[in-house]
Structure 1
Amino acid sequence: MKSICKNCKSEVEQNYCPNCGRKADLNRINGRYIFTEITSVLYLDKGILYTIRELLIRPGSTIRSFIKEDRNRLVKPVIFIIICSLIYSLIRQILQFEDGYIHYNDSENSTAMYIFGWISDNYGYGNLIMGIFIALWAKVLFKKFGYNFFEILILLCFVMGIGMLILALFGIIEGLTQLAVLQFGAILFVIYATWAIAQFFDKKKFSSYMKAFLAYFLGMLTFTLAIILIGNLIDFLV
């Protein structure tokens, strides 16, 4: 029997509208539907676990392949960093360990303190902003390689995502054992970021690792200073 597409009002004879491609009849929402939606977001059939494995083993070639050759095998970079940041935030809330990633103390209730607090509660967006600062410095330091800013930002999304998983792992250990090991996770985060960025550009040169560390350090420094400056400017104007 023919039916009318609810989206474009075209006649539909099969399961999908020939004009807009919308499914003729939607399945009822039930437990199976919810499970399917979750797995599709996390891309559990091959994406998330495969992405983590490849980024841990061969980050440079994996990300270069994503940019230049195949963008279907990995989880999309923005989704990846948000998922990884969410995992870290959930584990921190459950185990109640002290956050050692972004920590800012101010004796007064300054605007900068509120901004840092927002970042601590929204690491997915916060890491994207941090990635912008690091990508800018990487663009300057690795200018001769010809990657544009957005391609380098994709690199940082993947790198920062793995970094959040590293912190989540050490956070679990600290939460369960009460041992202060999260600081070692932060150090490993920096080591991984330096290694992964250098692998992406030129893994054979020692100077690539120095530039990668410098890009990460300067990116985090300018990110922090920018927040303090903006916060102080708002406080001054108010």
Structure 2
Amino acid sequence: MKTCIQCGTSTKEKFCSNCGQKQDIARLTLKSFFSDFFSRVYGLDGAFPRTVIGLFKKPETVALEYIKGVRGKYVGPVGYYFLMFTVLLIIINVLGFEVADYFPKTEEISDSIIEETGNKQSEAAKALGREIKEKVYNNIQYISFLLAPFLGLWGNVWFRKSKFNLLESSVFAFFVLGQAIIFNMIGFFVFAATGFKNLIVVNFIEMIYCTTAISLFYTSKISFKSIMRSLAAFILSYLSFILFTIISITIIVIVRFLIA
């Protein structure tokens, strides 16, 4: 009988029945150190690289297998989405940029309007706009989380005959949108190297990838009709998400101004 080194439970097994901690622990070596590192990052059986490769080759299969109960094979959809977004933010910070640097500068337009009109209401609107923009950029990783449910919702609307409920469709959406972040990573590397803001190009590639994946997930095929429905679901999900975000943050900012 042994005492678990992690939780103190008595056990005779190789793994603690209470917490799952392995009991026969050898002295730490360089090999075991890096083995543990890669196990944490890539999954005990290569879940991370399998998820990345699978979502490039057959995104619908990854989502369908996960929904059917094959959970250990892939990184979970929500965890995968946040992992990829976190990596993107780390890349941006390491390169010495901010999220706002990647997007078109709207301040110049508003500044020129105010200079021409001298309107105090315009100045107030500009201050409100900057406040909203700052809130969005500072909380982008949390706000963008809401995009997946919108994509799942519109997917179900345009593919009403599908057997998937909203939660299952959201699983697919998190996987696909998490994978699409890779295109943004590449786009930001190009921007950092050349200064070219390629957001439109990146969004176009992302749209092609997502609409193809949506069609395969809901219909198991690619046809003109399914692609058009997939495109509609993709566009409407982004429009709904943007509208919801703007309204929500505007309300929060206005309430804060009124209270102050």
Q: TM-score if structure 2 supplies the norm length?
A: 0.75
Answer yes or no: is the 8 Å Cα contact 1:5–1:24 preserved in 2. yes
Answer yes or no: is the 8 Å Cα contact 1:63–1:155 preserved in 2. yes
Answer yes or no: is the 8 Å Cα contact 2:102–2:197 preserved in 1. no
Q: Distance in 1 between matches of 2:244 and 2:28?
A: 46
Answer yes or no: is the 8 Å Cα contact 1:85–1:161 preserved in 2. yes
Q: 2:247 aligns with which of 219, 229, 234?
A: 229
Query: How many pairs are equivalent?
Result: 233
Secondary structure of the corresponding residue to residue 164 of structure 1: helix
Q: Deviations over 1:96-141 (max 9, x none)?
A: 27324x9886721456334312333xx2x33321111221111211
Distance change in 2, residues 1:115/1:64 (3 Å): same
1:134 alignment partner in structure 2: 151
Q: 1:217 aligns with which of 235, 239, 246?
A: 235
1:146 alignment partner in structure 2: 163
Q: Structure 1 residue 228: deviation in Å?
A: 1.8
Amino acid at match of 1:222: S
Secondary structure of the corresponding residue to residue 143 of structure 1: coil
Answer yes or no: is the 8 Å Cα contact 2:143–2:245 preserved in 1. no
Identity %, equivalent residues? 24
Amino acid at match of 1:11: S
Q: Structure 1 residue 29: deviation in Å?
A: 7.7
Q: Distance in 2 between matches of 1:155 and 1:92?
A: 26
Distance change in 2, residues 1:113/1:5 (3 Å): same
Aligned-CA RMSD value: 3.1
Distance change in 2, residues 1:18/1:165 (3 Å): closer
1:117 alignment partner in structure 2: 137
Distance change in 2, residues 1:38/1:112 (3 Å): farther
Answer yes or no: is the 8 Å Cα contact 2:102–2:191 preserved in 1. no
Distance change in 2, residues 1:89/1:21 (3 Å): closer
Amino acid at match of 1:126: I
1:43 alignment partner in structure 2: 42
Alignment of 1:97-108 (within 5 A): 98-100=101-103, 107-108=126-127
Alignment of 1:48-87 (within 5 A): 48-68=48-68, 70-87=70-87
**1:168 paired to 2:185:** yes
**Where in structure 1 are there 5+ consecutive unaligned residues?**
none
2:119 alignment partner in structure 1: none
Answer yes or no: is the 8 Å Cα contact 1:174–1:182 preserved in 2. no
Q: Structure 1 residue 22: deviation in Å?
A: 4.0
Q: Distance in 1 between matches of 2:139 and 2:17?
A: 45
Distance change in 2, residues 1:83/1:103 (3 Å): farther
Give the greater-gyration-radius structure (CA): 2
Q: 1:200 aligns with which of 192, 217, 228?
A: 217
Answer yes or no: is the 8 Å Cα contact 1:87–1:165 preserved in 2. no
Answer yes or no: is the 8 Å Cα contact 2:148–2:177 preserved in 1. yes
Answer yes or no: is the 8 Å Cα contact 2:128–2:253 preserved in 1. no
Amino acid at match of 1:108: A
Amino acid at match of 2:102: D
Deviates more, 1:180-189 or 1:208-217: 180-189
